Amino acid sequence: MFTPKYPPQDTAPAPITPAPAVYRPAPYAPVPAAPATNRPALQLTPGNTLALVAGGGALVLVIGAVLVSMLLAVAITAAPVAVCAVTVRSILKSDRR
């Protein structure tokens, strides 16, 4: 009653084997070299320098605000946890007496 009943072997479908993939590389076409330039990749003009300094300052302010808000969140969360810990300690200490 509880033994599994398997179908006969001849009714199972034959496994399908995929054909092997043949790698055929694309014909090689050399890429022409870019002409060499003598100017630097980044030219620092007074306007670009001012933009970099302003962007760096804004980045520092944003990262500072995020870090301060995370510290404030930890401090706000730690205060009630400390109050709960003192309360539980007081209750357990009064039960021992």
Note the pLDDT tens digit of each residue in 43-97. Answer: 788 898 999 999 999 999 999 999 999 999 999 999 999 999 999 999 988 876 6
Positions of E strands within the chain: none
Which residue is associated with the tokens 């090689």? 28
For residue 20, is it within any domain?
A: no
pLDDT at 31 over 90: no
Local structure of residue 62 (DSSP, 8 states): H
How far apart CA 80 and CA 86 sit, in angstroms, is 10
User: Secondary structure of 74-96 in the HEC alphabet?
Assistant: HHHHHHHHHHHHHHHHHHHHHHH
For residue 12, the model assigns a pLDDT of: 64
For residue 10, is it within any domain?
A: no
Give CA 1 to chain center in angstroms: 54
Q: How confident is the model at residue 14 (pLDDT cuts 50, 70, 90)?
A: confident
For residue 65, is it within any domain?
A: yes
CA torsion, points 68, 73, 75, 81, in degrees to nearest 10?
A: -170
Domain enclosing residue 65, as ranges: 48-97
For residue 66, is it within any domain?
A: yes
How far apart CA 56 and CA 60 sit, in angstroms, is 6
For residue 13, is it within any domain?
A: no
For residue 65, the model assigns a pLDDT of: 97
